[in-house]
Amino acid sequence: MFTLYDNHDSGNGYKIRLMFALLDLEYRYVEIDSIHGETRQGEFLTKNPNGKIPVLELEDGTYLPESNAILHYLGDGTPFVPTDKLDHAKTLQWMFFEQYTHEPSVAVARYIARHLPPDHERHETLPTIRESGHAALKVMEDHLFARDWFAANRPTIADVSLFAYTHKAEDGGIELGKYTAINTWLDRVRDLPGFVALEDT
Ligand SMILES: N[C@@H](CCC(=O)N[C@@H](CS)C(=O)NCC(=O)O)C(=O)O
């Protein structure tokens, strides 16, 4: 059985918990206190020298970090990873977008707002980060205007990846109300068979 090292409030971790649910796969869950530095200590660093959850432990004891790599590992061979060459590349395209443009703003705003004390200096960066978050959401909104899913004509791991922090953007003060196409897509993901909410994982 797979073992997932994760933190219950992590959107990166929720991507994997959602994927397990959509694939109807069982796994063992180990809670790591990533908020208070457990990922930066000796034992955990043997699992991921980069000091971050989520990490998936495979049945042979191999450790696989990086949420989007884990999504690809679990989804490969299922309809969530397209075999068509271009659709596959587009899936990767949106997952790189998620990591380089979306997560550093939408997820980081949520982290600062939820986990750092109100007098922490990083609160001063929130207006700029929120602006970048809206820019990322605008790219998604325009893309979804005439499409149901990000990379293909069905849900892929790119949708799972982008859902995780997008649906919690308001936790970081990035309001979603004006993004009609994104809100419709969020509901489309919520309607997938096996869907599970972050709070229920
Ligand atoms: N690129 C990584 C980012 C993972 C990440 O940022 N994990 C955070 C929690 S969401 C973490 O472990 N932070 C603790 C730390 O950096 O010490 C992924 O997608 O898995």
Consecutive sets of 10 residues in the chain, 201 residues long: mean pLDDT of each? 97 98 98 94 95 97 98 98 98 98 97 94 97 98 97 98 98 98 98 97 92
Pick the atom of ligand 1 nearest to 11's CA.
10
pTM assigned to the model: 0.97
3-state secondary structure of 55: strand
* Distance, CA of 84 to CA of 90 (rounded, Å): 10
Q: Decide: 32 in ligand 1 pocket, CB within 6 A.
A: no
* Distance, CA of 39 to CA of 140 (rounded, Å): 31
Question: For position 40, what pLDDT does the model report?
Answer: 94
Question: For position 88, what pLDDT does the model report?
Answer: 98
The rounded Å distance from CA 146 to ligand 1 centre is: 33
Burial of 134 (0-12, 13-18, 19+ CB in 10 A): middle
Question: For position 70, what pLDDT does the model report?
Answer: 98
Quick one: which of 98, 199, 95 has its CA closest to 157?
95
- In this structure, the residue with its CA closest to atom 19 of ligand 1 is 67
